[in-house]
């Protein structure tokens, strides 16, 4: 699959703001509370300055006026704290609303992506984007909201208050402060790339962990533990280096801006002292107030520059999630028709298909299947058996030719109606977290208990279900103690319950013991009666009764006929069959 261009920092920021913009009312309320909080916190230093001016000298202190001012300041501080608390709650809600929307859209897009995307991307990396990257994004977004709004309003507010006190000292602050911004901006531009690398390597690490845990039996069976550890350590070392680089360079921001801001504070103190002693332009209380404002004015620059680390990380993670959300979905069913009253006539005409342009697989493939026909597909590994099933179910679209059901090209039929008319049992079982009953009724949610029990009896799954602690109400999962054969029996029961007009059995009894397989063959025979069935099997003993056996090799049908006819030909099928049963 053609890889998309990576999302830049500016694009990630623009898209993030678009998500935040969905909650304009909450954001407006947060900004108003930030303004109120800042206004009150800036007014408090004025009161403190006035209280200081009430202390004229020894024995000349106006305690009554000073206490009134301090009481007023205490009320304002309490009100400021309450407003800040409410503002933080709102920022939390907006942040997690945005994260919820982002994660929902990512998961919805995952459901609409073609299988070619899922097959060509490491599953652990996809999981990392939806879970780990979104969590990192949430942390950075929340910190950004909390610091950004308050910081901007504080800068503007303190500037106004300082101008009312003395414009000359204010000018010193305004001229020197932007230096810290330039420093922060220069560091931020380089750290985004490091955080992007960190996020990608984290996804690679998640993929390795997911793969190793999911295949732990294979790892142990082949004594692959040491190699797995080495692979993990190699990725972990790269992640450590990328993280150290990102954190190191981003950590330069805060001390650099603090150094500049300390110089500004010292300059204000020096100029203020000169203004008092030599020119008598301001009072000591006003200088105290000015120093407080200078500190408050520079503080947001420190905080915002400190947040830059988290923001860079958040934007890098968001960019990976946006890339997933913006992937091209599979073609929609717009204009397609619902398939009803299906007879089961299937035709493949001149079908050409390959997973990658460089590797040819199926070329000019033709097949006719009349309603009720049992068609077995055999051949060596990689000959195209499972690929043919993918094309019949329209998990992949053909590159050339057509696949038709009852004379209708399946590209003109909705995927839902096509797949509802297929019953499919694969070699790989899939069990969801839920009760046995919920796992059986997936294709027919309105099935009665009698129908469920009848389907289980037909597949002989009722025997092991009866031994479960809660019977059909027993909670199971893919990681439960059920054997692979028991899981496969449940999958067969699902199809037996629905009995659609077309069936696909891809190694449907591969995990079932020979005795049980012989027992349920009669059930399969009843299930397939009058239904167009495609049977993929390596054990050729299971397909002797098929109406037509297709022998595939290198994506083409090289032989076809019933079991006896193909044995008499003494060709490739006879060779395969005899290799399994020769003494």
Of the candidates 264, 292, 325, which is a domain's last residue? Answer: 325
Asked whether 542 and 577 are in contact (CB, 8 A), the reply is: no
Q: Are 149 and 63 members of one domain?
A: yes
Nearest to 215 by CA among 228, 230, 234, 200: 228
Q: Are 187 and 110 members of one domain?
A: yes
How do residues 95-150 score in pLDDT, each as one tens digit?
Answer: 888 888 888 988 988 888 888 888 878 787 888 888 888 887 877 777 666 677 67
Residue 162 clears pLDDT 80, i.e. is over it = no
pLDDT-based confidence at 3, cuts 50/70/90?
Answer: very low
pLDDT-based confidence at 2, cuts 50/70/90?
Answer: very low
Of the candidates 325, 354, 373, which is a domain's last residue? Answer: 325
Q: Are 382 and 524 members of one domain?
A: yes
| Average pLDDT over every residue of 428-451 | 87
Q: Are 200 and 279 members of one domain?
A: yes
What residues have CB less than 8 Å from 57, skipping those under 6 apart? none
Per the prediction, the chain carries an average pLDDT of: 81
pLDDT-based confidence at 450, cuts 50/70/90?
Answer: very high
pLDDT of residue 583: 45
**Which residue has tokens 């503007």?**
156
How do residues 181-228 score in pLDDT, each as one tens digit?
Answer: 677 667 766 777 787 788 888 888 888 888 888 777 778 877 888 888
- Higher per-residue pLDDT: 465 or 58: 465
For residue 233, the enclosing domain spans 9-325
Q: Are 246 and 318 members of one domain?
A: yes
How do residues 43-72 score in pLDDT, each as one tens digit?
Answer: 887 787 778 777 765 667 777 888 888 888
1 in a structural domain: no
What CA–CA distance (Å, rounded) separates 442 from 465?
A: 17
Strand duo 362-369 + 55-57: pairing:
unpaired
436 in a structural domain: yes
| Average pLDDT over every residue of 434-438 | 90
Q: What is the DSSP letter of 350?
A: E
Residue 1 clears pLDDT 50, i.e. is over it = no
Nearest to 54 by CA among 335, 392, 284, 355: 284
Q: Are 316 and 362 members of one domain?
A: no
Nearest to 279 by CA among 159, 164, 160, 166: 166
250 in a structural domain: yes
Residue 306 phi/psi, 5-degree rounding, is -70, -35
pLDDT of residue 135: 81
Tokens of 503: 């069936």
Q: Are 312 and 369 members of one domain?
A: no
Residue 22 clears pLDDT 80, i.e. is over it = yes
How do residues 269-284 score in pLDDT, each as one tens digit?
Answer: 888 788 777 777 777 7
Q: Are 373 and 247 members of one domain?
A: no
Q: Are 441 and 479 members of one domain?
A: yes
Q: Are 533 and 572 members of one domain?
A: yes
pLDDT of residue 537: 76
571 in a structural domain: yes
Q: What is the CATH number of the domain that holds 177?
A: 1.20.1560.10
pLDDT > 90 in the chain, percent: 6
pLDDT of residue 223: 83
Asked whether 132 and 412 are in contact (CB, 8 A), the reply is: no
335 in a structural domain: no
493 in a structural domain: yes
211 in a structural domain: yes
pLDDT-based confidence at 541, cuts 50/70/90?
Answer: low
Asked whether 37 and 273 are in contact (CB, 8 A), the reply is: no
pLDDT of residue 306: 61
Please state at what angle helix 284-325 crosses helix 9-20, rounded to 10 degrees: 100
Task: Please state the domain count of the chain.
Answer: 2
What CA–CA distance (Å, rounded) separates 523 from 233?
A: 51
pLDDT of residue 342: 86
| Average pLDDT over every residue of 166-191 | 73
Tokens of 241: 């280096």
pLDDT-based confidence at 323, cuts 50/70/90?
Answer: confident
pLDDT of residue 234: 92
pLDDT of residue 149: 67
Strand duo 532-536 + 502-506: pairing:
parallel
pLDDT-based confidence at 362, cuts 50/70/90?
Answer: confident
Residue 557 clears pLDDT 50, i.e. is over it = yes
Q: Are 301 and 434 members of one domain?
A: no
Residue 300 clears pLDDT 80, i.e. is over it = no
Asked whether 471 and 495 are in contact (CB, 8 A), the reply is: no
Q: What is the CATH number of the domain that holds 560?
A: 3.40.50.300
pLDDT-based confidence at 516, cuts 50/70/90?
Answer: low
How do residues 334-359 score in pLDDT, each as one tens digit?
Answer: 778 888 888 888 998 888 888 877 77
What CA–CA distance (Å, rounded) separates 520 from 463?
A: 13
Q: Are 319 and 366 members of one domain?
A: no
Of the candidates 294, 325, 356, which is a domain's last residue? Answer: 325
pLDDT of residue 237: 92
| Average pLDDT over every residue of 360-382 | 83
- Higher per-residue pLDDT: 314 or 231: 231
What residues have CB less than 8 Å from 314, skipping those under 6 apart? 16, 136, 137, 138, 139, 140, 141, 144
341 in a structural domain: no
């Amino acid at each position: 699959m053609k890889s998309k261009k990576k999302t830049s920092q500016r694009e990630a920021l623009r898209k993030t703001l678009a998500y935040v913009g969905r909650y304009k009312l909450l954001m407006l309320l947060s900004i108003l509370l930030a303004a109120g909080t800042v206004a009150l916190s800036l007014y408090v230093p004025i009161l403190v300055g006035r209280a200081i001016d009430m202390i004229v000298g020894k024995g000349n202190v106006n305690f009554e006026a000073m206490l009134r001012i301090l009481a007023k300041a205490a009320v304002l501080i309490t009100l400021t704290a309450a407003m800040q608390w409410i503002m933080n709650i709102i920022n939390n809600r907006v942040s997690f609303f945005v994260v919820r929307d982002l994660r929902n859209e990512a998961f919805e897009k995952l459901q609409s992506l073609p299988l070619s995307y899922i097959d060509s991307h490491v599953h652990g990396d996809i999981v990392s984007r939806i879970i780990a990257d979104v969590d990192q994004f949430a942390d950075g977004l929340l910190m950004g909201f909390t610091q950004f709004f308050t910081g901007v309003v504080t800068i503007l507010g303190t500037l106004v208050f300082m101008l009312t006190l003395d414009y000359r000292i204010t000018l010193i602050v305004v001229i020197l402060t932007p230096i810290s911004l330039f420093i922060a901006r220069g560091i931020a531009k380089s750290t985004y790339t490091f955080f992007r690398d960190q996020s990608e390597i984290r996804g690679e690490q998640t993929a390795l962990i997911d793969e190793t845990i999911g295949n732990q039996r294979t790892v142990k069976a082949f004594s692959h533990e040491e190699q797995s550890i080495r692979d993990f350590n190699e990725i972990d070392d790269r992640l450590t280096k990328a993280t150290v680089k990102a954190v190191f360079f981003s950590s330069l921001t805060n001390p650099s801006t603090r150094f500049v801001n300390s110089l500004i504070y010292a300059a204000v103190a020096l100029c203020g002292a000169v203004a008092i002693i030599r020119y008598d332009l301001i009072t000591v209380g006003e200088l105290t107030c000015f120093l407080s404002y200078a500190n408050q004015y520079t503080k947001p620059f420190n905080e915002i520059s400190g947040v830059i680390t988290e923001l860079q990380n958040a934007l890098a993670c968001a960019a990976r999630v946006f890339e997933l959300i913006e992937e091209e979905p599979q073609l929609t069913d717009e204009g397609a028709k619902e398939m009803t009253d299906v007879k089961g006539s299937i035709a493949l005409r001149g079908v050409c298909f390959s997973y990658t342009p460089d590797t040819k697989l199926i070329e000019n493939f033709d097949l006719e299947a009349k309603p009720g026909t049992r068609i077995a597909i055999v051949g060596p590994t990689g000959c195209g058996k499972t690929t043919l099933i993918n094309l019949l179910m329209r998990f992949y679209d053909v590159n050339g030719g057509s696949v038709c059901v009852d004379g209708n090209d399946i590209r003109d039929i909705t995927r839902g109606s096509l797949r509802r008319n297929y019953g499919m049992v694969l070699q790989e079982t899939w069990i969801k977290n839920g009760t046995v009953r919920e796992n059986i009724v997936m294709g027919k949610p309105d099935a009665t208990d009698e129908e469920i029990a009848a389907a289980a009896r037909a597949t002989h799954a009722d025997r092991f279900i009866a031994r479960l602690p809660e019977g059909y109400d027993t909670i199971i999962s893919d990681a439960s103690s059920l054997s692979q054969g028991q899981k496969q029996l449940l999958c067969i029961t699902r199809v037996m319950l629905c009995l659609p007009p077309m069936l696909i059995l891809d190694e449907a009894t591969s995990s079932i013991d020979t005795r049980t397989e012989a027992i349920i063959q009669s059930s399969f025979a009843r299930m397939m009666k009058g239904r167009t069935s495609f049977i993929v099997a390596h054990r050729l003993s299971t397909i002797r009764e098929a109406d037509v056996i297709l022998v595939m090799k290198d994506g083409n049908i090289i032989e076809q006929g019933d079991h006896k006819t193909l044995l008499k030909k003494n060709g490739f099928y006879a060779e395969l069959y005899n290799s399994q049963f020769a003494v």
